[in-house]
């Protein structure tokens, strides 16, 4: 099951929303955007915020967990690894593994962190700059 989850997570990590987040971080840095400003790329709205520690500026994108799960199911079906063939508990377990693998891939390869919330959503965050950057 882990290999299937890893493959689906890898494919999901290539989705345009994560490319858009990277472009939004570049645009926010280039324009010197401040917290609270909104950037729209590929039709996706992302917000510029302070990071949790208050030391830096990040771009955040909030995506519903159900949207990500739907994308994962579509990818699995396209690859002949249909998640619907399983019982409900196995599907839920597979979804959790896919999202955990996705979170690790995004952090390792793209510098995107994943946090739960708000509510049933996931927040994806990419650093724009640290406030102490003298060359900003």
- Per-residue pLDDT of 56-86, as tens digits, reads 899 999 999 999 988 888 888 877 766 555 6
* Angstrom distance (rounded) from CA 108 to CA 1: 22
- Provide the β-strand partners of residue 40: 45
Q: Is residue 2 scored above 70 in pLDDT? A: no
Distances, alpha carbon 28 to alpha carbons 12, 31, 107, 127, 134, in Å: 24, 5, 20, 10, 16
pLDDT of residue 131: 72
Instruction: Say if CB 75 and CB 11 are below 8 A apart.
Output: yes
Report, as an integer, the average pLDDT of 41-61: 90
Residue 26 sits at the vertex; the CA angle it makes with 25 and 29, to the nearest 5 degrees, is 85
Report, as an integer, the average pLDDT of 80-107: 80
Q: The whole model's pTM is what?
A: 0.85
């Amino acid at each position: 099951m882990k290999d299937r989850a890893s493959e689906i997570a890898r494919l999901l990590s290539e989705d345009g929303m994560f490319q858009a987040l990277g472009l939004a971080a570049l645009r926010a840095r280039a324009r010197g955007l401040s917290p609270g400003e909104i950037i729209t790329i590929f039709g996706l709205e992302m917000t510029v915020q302070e990071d949790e520690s208050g030391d830096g500026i990040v771009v955040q994108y909030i995506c519903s967990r159900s949207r990500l799960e739907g994308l994962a199911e579509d990818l699995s079906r396209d690859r002949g690894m249909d998640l619907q063939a399983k019982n409900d508990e196995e599907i839920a377990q597979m979804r959790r593994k896919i999202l955990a693998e996705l979170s690790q891939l995004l952090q390792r390869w793209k510098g995107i962190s994943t946090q739960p919330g708000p509510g049933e959503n996931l927040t994806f965050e990419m650093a724009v700059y640290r406030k102490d950057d003298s060359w900003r």
